[in-house]
Structure 1
């Protein structure tokens, strides 16, 4: 075979992978999501406000790490005090905030006896705050949330029932986006169903979760103690703790009825910073743990590794293809109809149809928990155009940054982008 023919075949393989890998994974996620619904979600029922009754309600500690959250922390704590679970406490960690977060927490602690406040002099990062709070409670079940989160009043009921089974170490809940005032916000409403929620359903169907949601997850403290709690040097402590627990043979689950209403970035700058951190964190964990994953004992985790590695490869190839085609367009003035960004032809029709089916299925699955969700279906069709580009770009940027990063450097957070205008309906 001649070199030009070989290069032609290679280019054809790249094109096929870029176009059809998303279709394949979409089908896998849809099948897994349906399987999860049939196996776990139909029963006991899907009414969030009617959790199963219990004879015993163990103490739960809700841990709330905060950094510069003066705009949201009061609302978060007020919502926690409306939880219907009869036996809980709240521990808020002021992680060296430079605004009025600490002052507001002290005022709230005087108002609510269930609230305890820890003040850290310097910004130590979310993992350190969680570790500190975990050592200062006698509760065996710990629920970690963010400083802008609003837990559903029945969320703890749905989380705690999983810990009746001794092999369960963590249960992640169902984050729902509540700021929907811009196109980016409305697209993310669909994303948290069609991507986040559906993937977690599919992964749970095979007994694995790539990452719990840092904004709402319940943990068994004895399991955390066994694996050394949260790692301060990891950029995404939620991804890392998920892998640490599963590598120690603990089980991690997804509970779609444990709702948590959150704020998400609604500016391109804020979205880029968030997704770059997510991408860097996932890549960091994969690179850190891959030597241990070579053991046959860890074989059950191989599907997660393979899926993530293939996703990084897809992102890099997508970015390469986009740069190549844009260069063609600018330098050689190729007709716009030949540019793959428009996804014309039968391949584009297949991708678009599969995408729409995935999003419709996911919105239907989450509809009982988020009323009026189907109204956002129109906005979700813009997801591939915006988020595929961001995903490809952040994956390409993340890899060299992680490879060059000081492995012992502590992961401290900065003031987050919490969106533009929260939806008052939640």
Structure 2
């Protein structure tokens, strides 16, 4: 019996990455037909869009981001900046920028005390009357046509939110280059596949999301206690039968962490937020009738189970190696891993159509990016599970992320 269970654990550990990679490749390929058909469509509305940006100590990036709004091509938009009681020079920089620029209507809301990102967004939403709200970050640079591309996916009144594609713009370190490939080769594949196969994605990219204001109000806005408000609101909207879409044509240029500490901190926070959502929605998902939603949650569960089977299998392998004093690797399986990940990377490059502007430095690190991704998944999954089990207290708060250079 024990040997049978051991065999199952080893098989799951070995073949889960292969199976999921095939799902991502096939789903991403199938989704390309949909996106290619809609690429040339005109936005289905010319209604007002409000760009909403919450800030807390953003003096290093806020002016660059505000200036980027002057390049947007959509005619009917304005900007709301809500300051969550910054302690640096952010507010003065915003005010100085407003004094010098009047081509873009920008309104600054100053909160009297620090509330946290989600609560700050909620305070601003109460003062917005536009039917669509584009939430972005203070260090993000939106592509000039991002609003039009997001609106193209608002195909009917059941669509609550549409998220776009982040592109890393700081690539001065090996870690940043690896993340560039991760966003292009893996994250974009996953979101394309989820959107096509599951009828929606697991989580919006909080750095660029177009929300229907009506949908936000139907769930009482963002949850101020959630550690990742973007993951949380995705599932709360789905719970109300709203659709969440993804489009790879709506680009936002982001700053990725350039230190190991900053990177791990970011990914553990994301993973902890995912576990929060998992625990909140287990009962609802499995009692409901939405089969695609069940598959989406099973996907999350399996990734966390896999992290522990890797640990168990690795210990078993180490014990056997020491006992027999022989060292061997499954060459065929490793070759399959390599072929699949190079296939996924090639697919990512072809579907990217030059959006990520890959250069020679990024191409040189392609052989390492798949190992980097799966090790990241393993480490952050284990750390987040331990965090939730022993240390975590649910709360939403601001922190100063590593945003590179």
TM-score (norm 2): 0.93
Q: Is the 8 A contact 1:19 1:351 kept in 2?
A: no
1:149 matched to 2:143? The reply is no
Q: Is the 8 A contact 1:319 1:393 kept in 2?
A: no
Show CA shifts across 1:20-68 (max 9, x none): 1111111111110011001x221244xxxxx644585211011111222
In the alignment, the residues of structure 1 paired with residue 155 and residue 376 of structure 2 have an alpha-carbon distance, to the nearest angstrom, of 40
In the alignment, the residues of structure 2 paired with residue 68 and residue 334 of structure 1 have an alpha-carbon distance, to the nearest angstrom, of 56
In the alignment, the residues of structure 1 paired with residue 220 and residue 204 of structure 2 have an alpha-carbon distance, to the nearest angstrom, of 17
Instruction: Name the residue aligned to 1:388.
Output: 374
In the alignment, the residues of structure 1 paired with residue 59 and residue 76 of structure 2 have an alpha-carbon distance, to the nearest angstrom, of 27
Map 1:10-409 to 2 at 5 A: 10-38=5-33, 40-45=34-39, 52-53=41-42, 56-113=45-102, 114-206=105-197, 207-322=199-314, 325=317, 334=325, 337-338=327-328, 344-372=330-358, 376-404=362-390, 409=394
RMSD between aligned residues: 2.2
Give how far 1:286 is off. Answer: 0.6
In the alignment, the residues of structure 1 paired with residue 232 and residue 344 of structure 2 have an alpha-carbon distance, to the nearest angstrom, of 28
In the alignment, the residues of structure 1 paired with residue 16 and residue 334 of structure 2 have an alpha-carbon distance, to the nearest angstrom, of 13
Give how far 1:406 is off. Answer: 6.6
In the alignment, the residues of structure 2 paired with residue 406 and residue 8 of structure 1 have an alpha-carbon distance, to the nearest angstrom, of 36
In the alignment, the residues of structure 2 paired with residue 402 and residue 102 of structure 1 have an alpha-carbon distance, to the nearest angstrom, of 35
Give how far 1:414 is off. Answer: 0.9
Show CA shifts across 1:337-368 (max 9, x none): 43x6xxx5111111111111111111211134
Give how far 1:144 is off. Answer: 0.7
The 10-residue stretch of structure 1 (393-402 or 137-146) with the greater mean CA deviation from structure 2: 393-402
Q: Is the 8 A contact 1:247 1:298 kept in 2?
A: no
Q: Is the 8 A contact 1:235 1:280 kept in 2?
A: yes
The 10-residue stretch of structure 1 (214-223 or 347-356) with the greater mean CA deviation from structure 2: 347-356
Q: Is the 8 A contact 2:134 2:208 kept in 1?
A: yes
Gapped regions of structure 1 (runs ≥ 5): 1-5, 46-50, 422-426
1:415 matched to 2:400? The reply is yes
Q: Is the 8 A contact 1:177 1:263 kept in 2?
A: yes
In the alignment, the residues of structure 1 paired with residue 372 and residue 44 of structure 2 have an alpha-carbon distance, to the nearest angstrom, of 48
Q: Is the 8 A contact 1:175 1:260 kept in 2?
A: yes
In the alignment, the residues of structure 2 paired with residue 55 and residue 290 of structure 1 have an alpha-carbon distance, to the nearest angstrom, of 36
1:292 to 1:332, Cα distance in 2 relative to 1, 3 A: same
Gapped regions of structure 2 (runs ≥ 5): none
1:55 to 1:146, Cα distance in 2 relative to 1, 3 A: closer
Q: Is the 8 A contact 2:42 2:152 kept in 1?
A: no
In the alignment, the residues of structure 1 paired with residue 155 and residue 16 of structure 2 have an alpha-carbon distance, to the nearest angstrom, of 39
